[in-house]
Structure formats: C-alpha cells, structure tokens
C-alpha cells in the first residue's frame, strides 16, 4: 500500500538516475555531495522520510536527463552507505547497484585542518583523501594525515 502512495508522490522517470534507499533525512547532503544545486536546469525530484521495507524510513532522489558514472556516484556511499543506484533508460531499470566507498576521494571534500596545505590561499590544490577503513568509515587526508570519520563528512562539503 505504501508503495502505491509513494508512486503518487513522484512519478516514474524516462531517462536518468534514481538514488534509492538513502537514509532518511540525508537527501540534501547527497545532492550537495554531487554538487547538484538546481541551477543546472536538470529536473530533480526529491522525497524525504517515506516508508521503506528495508530501512524503516528513507529518502529518494530522481535526476532526469543525466547519467553519472559508477565512479562519480561512489562518493554517495560516504553519506548514504545503504543507497541503491538505478539507471533508467526509456522507463526501464537497465542497471541497479549499491554504492561502494571508493579507495580514494579526490576534489570533493575539503580538509578541516586549517593548517593543511590544501587550505592555503592562492595555492589551489585538489584535495585527496585515502580510505583507511570502510566500516566504520575512516578516511585520511593525503596531505596532512588528519583522520576523519562518517560524522565529519557533512562539515567537509565545500
Ligand atoms: N523508478 C523510476 N522510474 C522508472 C523506473 C523506476 O523512478 N522508470 C524508480 C522506482 O520508483 C524505484 C526505483 O526506481 O524507486 C527502483 O525501481 P524498481 O527496481 O522497479 O523498484 P524495486 O524493485 O522496489 O527496487 P528495490 O528492489 O531496489 O527496492
Ligand atoms: Zn589535510
């Protein structure tokens, strides 16, 4: 029954990506991570806090007219480890996979350590973090060595 009412909230899409099984309340953080602001002109549908059989509650994001690579999508795992990606072509799910934490994260997060060389003014350096542990999540700045956990990620989004 919940499935039916959910379908009423947002219709199926023709071509694009559905990011499903996002932990409830994290959809905006996922969009921020993907640097989708709405100004790109993409049609984006977002549902927050709907019932899920697997998670209790979940968020869903549907992005129309855009495909992102598995690599580009993998960073979603940093804030939504339960997320499932569905690639939609002509209304059909042509590919479904779980996001997996990448071994290195480049150019997406900023290091919180103000003394880190990546934060030096006038010297733009692409940030790089190395995954030390996936569960629990621990990543390390490749420049200053500072370790970060899952709770830090939200503050590391540019
Ligand atoms: N979806 C969509 N547009 C389509 C096809 C699917 O928006 N043309 C959405 C569905 O609403 C659902 C997700 O993509 O949120 C996955 O679709 P599907 O695999 O058909 O659903 P489930 O079997 O419920 O998925 P899962 O087993 O991953 O929970
Ligand atoms: Zn650093």
CATH number of the domain that residue 46 is part of: 3.30.70.140
Q: Does the C-beta of 9 come closer than 6 Å to ligand 1?
A: no
Give a yes or no: residue 51 inside a domain: yes
pTM higher than the cut 0.95? no
Q: Does the C-beta of 12 come closer than 6 Å to ligand 1?
A: yes
Domain boundaries, position 148: 104-156
Q: Is the peptide bond before 136 cis (omega within 30 degrees of 0)?
A: yes
Minimum CA distance residue for ligand 1 atom 4: 12
- Please state the rounded mean pLDDT for residues 64-83: 94
Q: Does the C-beta of 131 come closer than 6 Å to ligand 1?
A: no
Tens of pLDDT, residues 30-57: 999 999 999 999 999 999 999 998 889 9
Here the tokens at position 61 are: 């994001």
The answer to whether residues 80 and 114 belong to one domain is no
Q: What is the pLDDT of residue 80?
A: 96
Give a yes or no: residue 56 inside a domain: yes
Query: Which phi and psi (to 5°) does residue 68 adopt?
Result: -115, 150
Give a yes or no: residue 94 inside a domain: yes
Minimum CA distance residue for ligand 1 atom 10: 12
The answer to whether residues 109 and 39 belong to one domain is no
């Amino acid at each position: 029954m919940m499935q039916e009412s959910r379908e009423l909230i947002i219709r199926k899409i023709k071509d694009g990506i559905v990011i499903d099984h996002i932990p409830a309340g994290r959809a905006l953080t996922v969009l921020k991570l993907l640097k989708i602001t709405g100004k790109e002109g993409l049609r984006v549908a977002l549902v927050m806090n709907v019932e899920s059989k697997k998670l209790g509650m979940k968020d869903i994001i549907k992005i129309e007219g855009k495909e992102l690579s598995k690599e580009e999508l993998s960073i979603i795992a940093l804030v939504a480890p339960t997320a499932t990606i569905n690639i939609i072509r002509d209304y059909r799910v042509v590919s479904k996979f779980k996001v997996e934490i990448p071994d290195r994260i480049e150019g997406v997060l900023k290091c919180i350590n103000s003394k880190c060389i990546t934060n030096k003014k006038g010297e733009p350096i692409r940030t790089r973090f190395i995954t030390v542990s996936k569960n629990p999540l621990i990543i390390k700045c490749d420049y200053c060595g500072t370790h970060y956990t899952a709770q830090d990620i939200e503050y590391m989004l540019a």
